[in-house]
Amino acid sequence: MSTITTTTAGMAGELFPKKEIRYCPVCGSQGFMPLRSSETSGETSFIRKYHCAVCGFEFFMNAAASTMALIIKDDQQVLMIRRARDPARGSLDLPGGFVDLGESAEHAMIREVYEETNLSVTSHILYPRTFCNEYLYGGVLYHTLDLVYICEVDDWANLRSNDPEEGSIELVRLDELTPQQVGLTSVRRFITEYLETRSRTTSG
Ligand SMILES: [Zn+2]
């Protein structure tokens, strides 16, 4: 089982938007300057907004909201996707994806689960922590804020991929799953937490 590494904060953190945004989109001047979040010790500072010194236009940089669904079958297996595309191609991932503009996070999660697995989510609860990720796609580094939902589904007999180009479905035994098999940083952090909590509750 190979270990998959992804980008880390700071290393690729300047790819977007600093490389791409150089001119004010309103007046076209070159005085479009990034303003950083206040630096805290040990943490990477990110560009918070751009400000045009010529016309005063401001453009704020925000994380994209993304979702992932934890769906357990028979208390033994977790529903995962083997990623067919970069980033982290070939690694395991949870079903889920980006929240569209104007869409709620839970709607995005339910939509993505159906698109990827043909399963209908019947109930879900929001995990009490969120996770940051950097998602390199098409040369642009997107910063995401990931929400996790613990879900139940209607009928496992419906399980099939509706979008094979995104990846293949795998039911992975929880006692065989390791965080190293998971490529995306935020998903790996959640899986690490989940497996640790599960081993504490099942062994104690
Ligand atoms: Zn301007």
61 CA distance to ligand 1 middle (Å): 16
The secondary structure of 40-92 as a DSSP string is: -TTS---EEEEEETTT--EEE--PEEEEEEEEEETTTEEEEEEE-SSSSTTSE
Task: State which amino acid sits at residue 37.
Answer: S
Position 1 scores a pLDDT of 36
What residue spans define the domains of the chain?
A: 13-61, 64-203
> For residue 196, how many C-alpha atoms fall within 13 Å in the half-sphere facing its CB?
7
49 CA distance to ligand 1 middle (Å): 13
- Distance between CA atoms of 133 and 130, rounded to whole angstroms? 10
15 CA distance to ligand 1 middle (Å): 22
30 CA distance to ligand 1 middle (Å): 8
Beta bridge partners of 130: 147
Ligand 1 being an ion, which residues bring their Cβ within 5 A of it? 24, 26-27, 52, 54-55, 57
> Residue 139, Cβ neighbours under 10 Å: how many?
9
* H or E segment and range at residue 131: strand 121-137
| Res 38 pLDDT > 70 | no
| Res 40 pLDDT > 60 | no
Query: CA quadruple 15, 136, 68, 109: dihedral positive or negative?
Result: positive
Topology classification of domain 64-203: Nucleoside Triphosphate Pyrophosphohydrolase (3.90.79)
Given pLDDT bands bounded at 50, 70 and 90, which one contains residue 41? very low
What does DSSP say about strands 167-173 and 96-98: parallel, antiparallel, or unpaired?
Answer: unpaired
Q: Which of 3-17, 30-44, 130-144 has the largest mean confidence? A: 130-144
| Res 103 pLDDT > 70 | yes
32 CA distance to ligand 1 middle (Å): 7
Model pTM score: 0.84
Residue 183 — φ and ψ, nearest 5°? -85, -40
